[in-house]
Chain A
C-alpha cells in the first residue's frame, strides 16, 4: 500500500462544476503540499498546509491531521484547470523532511 493515496485517479467535469480531490496518508507528516502539473510540464505548488484550511481564488485546501486526510476543492471549474493534481506529504523530522507523492489525479474540465 502506498504511503499517500489519492482519489479519484481520473476525473472529468463540465465547466462550472465543483470538484473535490482527496488525499489520504499513512505516515506522520509536518505538512502537505497540493501540486499542479500540466501535461509534460513541471510542478507548481498550489498550497502547503499543516492544519485547517487555505483558500486561493477558486481553490480551497483542507487538512485533518487526526484523520490523516486532505482535500482539494475547485469551485466553478474551468477548462484551464485541466491538469494533474498531486498530493505530497513532508515527513515529520530528521532526514524525513523528504516529500512523498501520491500518484496524482488527472482532471479534465470540458467546456
Chain B
C-alpha cells in the first residue's frame, strides 16, 4: 500500500502571494486532514475532508481553503500569504478517524 505523499517538500513564497499544497492519501483512505505546525509547536488542526466535503475546521481564517478530489487526494490553498504562515504543513489520511491516521512528510512553507 502507498503512504501519504505531499508536494512540494519545500516552498518559498512572498507575502501576499497565494500557494497550493498537495496531498495524496493512502490507498483506501477517504478522509484527509491538514495541520499547521509552527516552529517549536505542536501541529494545529486546519480542516478535514471526508468524501470531498469539509467536515471539520479549526481556528483558521477563510483564506485557508481546501479541496478533496474523487480519488481522495487533497489540496490546501492559502491566499494573501502572511509571514506568520511560515510553517510545516502536514497532511494525514484515514480510513475513518477512529482507525488512526497515516501522515505525510510535510511541506515546509517559508513566507518572506
Contacts and interface: CB of A to CB of B under 8 A. Distances in A.
B106 A42 contact: yes
A86 B45 contact: no
Nearest to A2: B42
A45 interface: yes
Interface stretch (B60-68, B71-79, B89-97): B89-97
By secondary structure, the B interface counts as: strand
A40 interface: yes
Interface string B15-47: 000000000000000010101000001111100
Contacts of A43: 43, 90, 92, 103, 106
A4 B43 CA distance: 12
By secondary structure, the A interface counts as: strand
Nearest to B6: A42
Interface residues of A, number: 26
Please tell me the size bucket of the interface on B: 20 to 34
Contacts, number: 70
B86 interface: no
B100 interface: yes
A103 B100 contact: no
Interface in A56-111: 86, 88, 90-91, 95-104
Interface of B: 6, 31, 33, 35, 41-45, 48, 55-56, 58, 90, 92, 94, 96-98, 100-106, 108
Given A4-B42, A30-B98, 17 more contacts: A30-B97, A33-B101, A35-B103, A41-B106, A42-B6, A44-B103, A48-B100, A97-B31, A97-B97, A98-B48, A98-B56, A98-B58, A99-B33, A99-B43, A99-B45, A99-B101, A101-B44
